[in-house]
Amino acid sequence: MSPELFKATNVIVQGITGSHGRFQTKAMLTAGTTIIAGTSPGKAGEVVEGVPVYATIANIQKDHTVDISVIFVPAPFAKDAILEAITAEVPLIICITEGIPIHDMLQIKQHLKNSKSTLVGPNSPGVMIPGGNKLGIIPANMSLAGHTAVVSRSGTLTYEVMAGLSGRGIGQAYVIGIGGDQIRGTSFVECFKLFENDPHVDQIIIIGEIGGTDELALADYIKTSVSKPIFGYIAGKYAPTGVQLGHAGAILGSSDESAAHKKEALTRAGASMYDSVTALVQGVTDTVHP
């Protein structure tokens, strides 16, 4: 991933005529995002918030270059929407939809291999570039432009951290919600590669959860490849084994997937880890970018 991927201006919305698509299209436009078109099968020719509706991405591409697609298509149809975007070689695909079946995501992951697309999500609040693109449902009014990168599996905790940082005058360069499902597109490691290589990022915040091993893979990556200050929090400290909490991926299957184990691994890798979101926000250094 590169910074340019998130700064591109030709944005489309798949599922633009649904209630969520309409509402969030208006919010994204209000935040300054350039939305050139939307898709909704059977509703070509309609207009949503001044944005023309097409039947397919291929039809949009006859008139425009498409850089980013934000997907609000319901779960039963989301696989086809994502595959359509991959086939159309849309560089950045952001899927907000939750509840996509695991077997659908397994197929999508296969199609992503060797494709020209990057997928953020599903079950993601999206991406916020304060002062730039709002891609999804992250509230723009909670953001503040700056030099701290935030990546999270939890939408709600993302908003809480972002608002807390902004309240302290600590601005953000990226706010990325990678999604809370067991199988998803972009990983923590891929986001950290982006942050480490972007000179406009001074420090990084990670918000993890119980379940899965992504945070452990990140800890290994940090040891060898990240030089910037890292602050973090892992949700689910008191989670019982085998019970799903919130996200489909937030289920404690073994001690290796616990909040305590992940916190310990990231601490050993050099991250400053905290036991609450409030402590995390207060612990982040107010850096001054040259």
CB within 8 Å of 176: residues ≥ 6 apart: 120, 127, 149, 150, 151, 152, 186, 191
- Of 198, 14, 23, the residue nearest 93 (C-alpha): 14
pLDDT > 80? residue 251: no
pLDDT > 50? residue 257: yes
CB within 8 Å of 195: residues ≥ 6 apart: 149, 151, 174, 201, 204, 228
Q: Write the pLDDT tens digit of every residue in 100-149.
A: 999 999 999 999 999 999 999 999 999 999 999 999 999 999 999 999 99
Backbone angles phi, psi at 282, to 5 degrees: -70, -25
CB within 8 Å of 44: residues ≥ 6 apart: 53, 54, 55, 59
pTM of the model: 0.92
With b meaning 16 or more CB within 10 Å and e meaning fewer, what string describes 135-155?
A: bbbbebebbbebbbbbbbbbb
Could you give the CA distance from residue 220 to residue 142 in angstroms, rounded to a whole number?
Answer: 32
Which residues form the catalytic set? 247
What average pLDDT does range 169-183 have in this prediction? 94
Structural domains in the chain plus CATH codes:
3-120 (3.40.50.720), 143-283 (3.40.50.261)
Q: How far apart are the first and last CA of the chain?
A: 24
Could you give the CA distance from residue 22 to residue 150 in angstroms, rounded to a whole number?
Answer: 27
pLDDT > 50? residue 249: no
pLDDT tier, 255 (very low <50, low <70, confident <90, very high otherwise): low
C-alpha torsion angle, residues 88, 94, 99, 104 (rounded to 10): 30
Q: Write the pLDDT tens digit of every residue in 73-106.
A: 999 999 999 999 999 999 999 999 999 999 999 9
Q: What one-letter code names the amino acid at 94? A: I
